[in-house]
Amino acid sequence: MTSCHVCHNPAITPVAVDTRPPRLVSSDARPVEGTVGYGYCDVCGTLQKLIDRRWRDVSDRVYDTYDINHQSEGAEPKVFGSPFGDGPRSQVLLGLFLENAQLGEEGRLLDVGCSNGNLLASFHALRPQWRLSGSEISDQWQSTVLSMPGVDAFFVGREIDYPESYDVISLSHVLEHIPDPSAFLQRLSRHLTPEGRFLIAVPDLRQNPIDLVIADHCTHFDANALMNVLDKSGLIVDTLTAEGLPKELVAIARVGTATEKPTPYVVRSSLLDLCEKYLALLWDVTDAARHAGQTSGKFGLMGSSIAAVWLAEELGSSVTFFVDEDRDRIGSHLLGRPIFGMDQVPEGATVFIPLSVNVAKKIVDRGRKYPIHFVYSESNRPDTN
Ligand SMILES: [Zn+2]
**Residue 36: is its pLDDT beyond 80?**
yes
The predicted pLDDT at position 18 comes to 63
Quickly state the pLDDT bin for 64 (edges 50, 70, 90).
Answer: confident
State the distance from the centre of ligand 1 to the C-alpha of 374, rounded, in angstroms: 42
CATH of the domain at 275: 3.40.50.20
- Residue 32 within any structural domain of the chain: no
State the distance from the centre of ligand 1 to the C-alpha of 208, rounded, in angstroms: 22
State the distance from the centre of ligand 1 to the C-alpha of 4, rounded, in angstroms: 5
State the distance from the centre of ligand 1 to the C-alpha of 254, rounded, in angstroms: 22
State the distance from the centre of ligand 1 to the C-alpha of 240, rounded, in angstroms: 21
> CA-to-CA distance for 285 and 362, rounded, in angstroms?
18
Q: What is the pLDDT of residues 156-183, one digit of tens each?
A: 998 899 999 999 999 999 999 999 999 9
Residues 133 and 243 in one domain: yes
Residues 189 and 155 in one domain: yes
The predicted pLDDT at position 385 comes to 65
Quickly state the pLDDT bin for 258 (edges 50, 70, 90).
Answer: confident
Helix/strand/coil (H, E, C) string of the chain? CCCCCCCCCCCCEEECCCCCCCCEECCCCCEECCCCCEEECCCCCCEEECCCHHHHHHHHHHHHCCCCCHHHCCCCCEEEEECCEEEEHHHHHHHHHHHHCCCCCCCEEEEECCCCCHHHHHHHHHCCCCEEEEEECCCCCHHHHHCCCCEEEEEECCCCCCCCCEEEEEEECCHHHCCCHHHHHHHHHCCEEEEEEEEEEEECHHHCHHHHHECCCCEECCHHHHHHHHHHCCEEEEEEECCCCCCEEEEEEEECCCCCCCCCCCCCCCHHHHHHHHHHHHHHHHHHHHHHHHCCCCEEEECCCHHHHHHHHHHHHHCCEEECCCCCCCCCEECCEEEECHHHCCCCCEEEECCCHHHHHHHHHHCCCCCCEEEECCCCCCCCC
Residues 319 and 283 in one domain: yes
- What's the domain count of the chain? 2
Residues 142 and 277 in one domain: no
**Residue 312: is its pLDDT beyond 80?**
yes
- Residue 64 within any structural domain of the chain: no
State the distance from the centre of ligand 1 to the C-alpha of 10, rounded, in angstroms: 9
* Burial state string for 71-106 with b = 16 or more CB within 10 A and e = fewer than 16: bbebbbbbbeebebeeebbbbbbbbbbeebeebeee
Q: What is the mean pLDDT of the chain?
A: 92
The predicted pLDDT at position 7 comes to 95
- Residue 152 within any structural domain of the chain: yes
- The mean pLDDT of 3-8, rounded to a whole number, is 95
- Residue 331 within any structural domain of the chain: yes
- Residue 155 within any structural domain of the chain: yes
State the distance from the centre of ligand 1 to the C-alpha of 269, rounded, in angstroms: 16
Q: Which domain holds residue 221?
A: 70-255
State the distance from the centre of ligand 1 to the C-alpha of 104, rounded, in angstroms: 38
State the distance from the centre of ligand 1 to the C-alpha of 6, rounded, in angstroms: 5
Residues 278 and 208 in one domain: no
Residues 214 and 142 in one domain: yes
Q: What is the pTM of this model?
A: 0.93
- Residue 36 within any structural domain of the chain: no
